Amino acid sequence: MRPFPTSRRAVSPQLAAAIDHEIKALMEQAHQMALEILMRNRDVLERIAQTLLDAESLEGETLKAFLTQIKRPTDLQTWLDKGALNSALLWGYQDGKEQPETAESPSAQYPHHSDLPSI
């Protein structure tokens, strides 16, 4: 008897590894997409932040004006439709196995918050 029952079905180690691999790939792709969106729109985000500091709110036409300036990555719709980016194999996964020696994680190419001002 298990000390903590779960609703997860018993699966083979191979299937569990495949599931873990897919989840990791999806999470890494989502992280990459979020970074790309933030980087492409940093100027808009900084203007929104300054407007909020000055006016303390954004509503109606002012908010719409900012939102129309947002730049979307070209592969965003593909990712949303299919749940995968074409470059997933380049991110360290080949034949279902992680390849850390040869491929770098997409998030590793960006400094994490190193240039953000402290509050």
Q: Which domain holds residue 70?
A: 13-106
pTM for the full predicted model: 0.54
| 47 found inside a domain | yes
Contact 39, 109 (CB under 8 A): no
pLDDT value of position 7: 64
Phi, psi of 98 (to 5 degrees): -70, 140
| 38 found inside a domain | yes
Contact 41, 73 (CB under 8 A): no
Segment holding 93, helix H or strand E:
strand 93-94
| 88 found inside a domain | yes
| 43 found inside a domain | yes
Contact 105, 91 (CB under 8 A): yes
Domain count, the chain: 1
pLDDT by position in tens, the chain (length 119): 555 556 667 888 899 899 999 999 989 988 988 898 999 999 999 999 999 999 888 888 998 999 899 888 877 777 778 766 655 433 443 444 444 444 444 444 444 445 544 44
